[in-house]
Amino acid sequence: MFADLHIHMLLDGVYWRDAIAVHKPQPDDALIRRRLAAYRSAGITYLRDGGDRFGVCLRARELAAEYGIAYCTPAFPICKKGRYGGFIGRSWETFADYQALLAQARAAGADFIKLMVSGLMDFSAFGALTEEPLTGEEMRSLVAAAHDQGFAVMAHCNGAKAVQSLAISGVDSIEHGAYLDDAACHALVENRVVWVPTLSTIGNLPGSGRYDDAVLTQILRSAQENVRKVAALGGFIGLGSDAGAFRVPHVAGTLSEEKWLRQTLGEETDAILTAAETQVKSRFQPAKRGT
Ligand SMILES: [Zn+2]
């Protein structure tokens, strides 16, 4: 296991406000270096950051080469104004705004584009999401515009209908993907999307006292069933921990994600994860910089 396909160098696995404060007014190099060294010591040599608008992922990419780590970043995530993602990303209201953000991402040296197209899981109730997703038409337009500019697209998305629409849009990877149905599973496979289920963001929560552990267990089981279903259909399942999210510390989160995926996929784990990792590494190439 050599890659974590979804981390946030900005965040600390504890509390996002405090984590962001550490990196103001500028990214904390000493902290970033400690984390890169820890990833390297664990044998992790490829990191794909989900992005942040504070420049932490971009600084991490600059430093990563010293640690022998290939580091890909979208610069910042892109979300619709008023929807989930504003705390870490930049927002669009009109399609022209979105195109301006694509230009900003390119200018910042983004390796790919990261979209936020739905809300989060509401961990207090099985099946509940925090908000409505973007429409299928919006997803198609956003993904197509990024592809037109030569960017691969990683997208945060939850819910069966939203994931199905997003997969059909031709997105390259889908992150989280809670509560899939059969149609969504088939859409992932038929469109060769890499699904990064971030099981640690659910599996690591019991014991925190913040949620009902019985609900968490039910959510995790449902995610694991869907992972097995997509794997059985021949789909791509990637190891990405969402390190930095609540209860998902850097490096330890990568290892917990490996544990959850092994528990889910059994003896097929290595072959499945390697296939997805290969896909991501070929699609999400570090941009040629300085040219
Ligand atoms: Zn994330």
Tell me the C-alpha distance between 121 and 263, whole Å. 22
Domain enclosing residue 35, as ranges: 3-283
Decide: pTM greater than 0.85: yes
CA of 241 to the centre of ligand 1 (A): 8
> Is 116 part of a structural domain of the chain?
yes
Which sign, positive or negative, has the C-alpha torsion 274, 276, 282, 285?
negative
> Is 26 part of a structural domain of the chain?
yes
CA of 151 to the centre of ligand 1 (A): 19
Residuewise pLDDT in 10s, the chain (291 residues):
589 999 999 999 999 999 999 999 899 999 999 999 999 999 999 999 999 999 999 999 999 999 999 999 999 999 999 999 999 999 999 999 999 999 999 999 999 999 999 999 999 999 999 999 999 999 999 999 999 999 999 999 999 999 999 999 999 999 999 999 999 999 999 999 999 999 999 999 999 999 999 999 999 999 999 999 999 999 999 999 999 999 999 999 999 999 999 999 999 999 999 999 999 999 997 665 443
Residue 197's CATH number:
3.20.20.140
Using alpha carbons only, how large is the chain's radius of gyration in Å? 17
> Is 52 part of a structural domain of the chain?
yes
Structure tokens that stand for 41 in this block: 């010591």
CA of 268 to the centre of ligand 1 (A): 26
CA of 157 to the centre of ligand 1 (A): 10
> Is 289 part of a structural domain of the chain?
no
CA of 150 to the centre of ligand 1 (A): 22
What are the residue ranges of helices labelled H in 65-179?
95-108, 136-148, 160-168
Return the beta strands (E) in 163-242 as ranges: 173-176, 194-196, 236-237
* H or E segment to which residue 68 belongs: none
Structure tokens that stand for 43 in this block: 């044998």
Residue 12 has φ and ψ, to the nearest 5°, of -120, 0
> Is 291 part of a structural domain of the chain?
no
Task: Give the total number of structural domains in the chain.
Answer: 1
> Is 288 part of a structural domain of the chain?
no
**pLDDT at 286 (0 to 100):** 67
Tell me the C-alpha distance between 57 and 69, whole Å. 13
Tell me the C-alpha distance between 204 and 132, whole Å. 25
